[in-house]
Amino acid sequence: MGVQGLLPFVSSASTEVSLEDYRGQTLACDASVWLHRGAISCARELAEGEPAVGFLRFPLRMIALLKRHGVRPLIVFDGGAMPMKARVDAARAADRESAKARGEFNKTVKITAAMTQQLIERLRQDGVEFVVAPFEADSQLAFLVQHGHAAAALTEDSDLLAYRCPSVLFKLSESGHARRITFAGLQHAQDSKGQLLFDGAWEGEWAAWEGGLFVAMCIMAGCDYLPSVPGVGVATAHKALRAGRTVERALAKLHSKRSGPPAPVAAEAYLLRALGL
């Protein structure tokens, strides 16, 4: 899920925070992760089509955790499926089928609209606010924070950074602590040698990353919408973009060093289009 390896790559820009820091404020919460983890507790029942409500326990406990710290939860649900992700969705469905055949029910877990409806009913009863995103929750979460409807997004999905969400909370623990990464804070992210990743190599470098290079790095490293370039991860994409300073030159650099199967040129066309270039 998300961009593989992105969070470790920028982990130096993360800080430990407590839910207490958000007392009296709103957090936009990604419901899908909570539902997925909750569904593990009744994976077999769900796989066999038996009635089950155990999957509600985990998300409700997380909401209670937020309330205990005086935080106002705004739960965000996924909406419609993205046509561009049809290929990935089909592959995941096939994986679930084979897992079911092997009896590995934990890997067959899929959150259905009916399950989402059950949680929504509980939220209505409990007076917990929620919204259903038009498509994926990711971009809706980023929107809510960007427009001041929430102080931060609470999720496990690194895509929130690709969507330039101003403030994201990852890895919330039962103790109420989490790792926070702000988009502006990425300016100070550094590698293992203490060198800045997105600033200082040339005049106005951070503005370039902020303006589009960071999103390009995420896409080049592999996303759910496009076939990825084999052998290119976050680090390689970062190096190419920093050396080339533009998406076009970075892609050219990757080409010159590549060997093996031909590069998916269609992916590059989509990339440039997605970036408005």
Partner DNA sequence: CGCTAGGGATACTC
Partner DNA sequence: ACTCGTCCCTAGCG
Binding residues vs DNA (CB under 7 A): 1-2, 4-5, 7, 30-33, 35-38, 40-41, 49, 57-58, 61, 77-78, 80-81, 89, 92-93, 104, 106-107, 110-114, 116, 136-138, 156-157, 171, 174, 192, 221-222, 228, 230-237, 257, 259-260
Token pair, residue 274, equals 């997605």
Report CA 15 to chain centroid distance, whole Å.
18
Residue placing its CB nearer to DNA in the complex, 18 or 117: 117
Nearer to DNA by C-beta: 33 or 213? 33
Closer residue to DNA (CB): 114 or 203: 114
Helix pair 57-68, 31-39: axis angle to 10 deg: 130
- Residue 154 or 221 with smaller CB distance to DNA: 221
In the complex with DNA, the residue whose CB is nearer, 94 or 207, is 94
- Closest separation between CB of residue 55 and DNA, Å? 8
Instruction: Provide the total of helices (H) and of strands (E) in the chain, helices listed first.
Output: 13, 7
Residue for token digits 């999905």? 157
- Helix, strand, coil in percent for the chain, rounding step 5: 55, 10, 35
Question: Could you tell me the smallest distance in angstroms from the CB atom of residue 74 to DNA?
Answer: 15
Q: Is the CB of residue 153 less than 8 Å from the CB of residue 144?
A: yes
Cβ nearer to DNA, comparing 139 with 276: 139
Q: How far is the CB of 111 from DNA (least distance, A)?
A: 4
* Least distance between DNA and beta carbon 59 (Å): 9
CA distance from start to end of the chain: 26
Residue 41 vs 246, nearer CB to DNA: 41
Please name the residue that has the structure tokens 């969507």.
163
SS3 per-residue string spanning 27-79: EEEEHHHHHHHHHHHHHHHHHHCCCCCHHHHHHHHHHHHHHHCCCEEEEEECC
CB of 122 to DNA, least distance (A): 14
Shortest distance, CB of residue 272 to DNA, whole angstroms?
20
Shortest distance (Å) from residue 24 CB to DNA = 26
How distant is the alpha carbon of residue 7 from its chain centre? 10
CA distance 110 to 107: 9
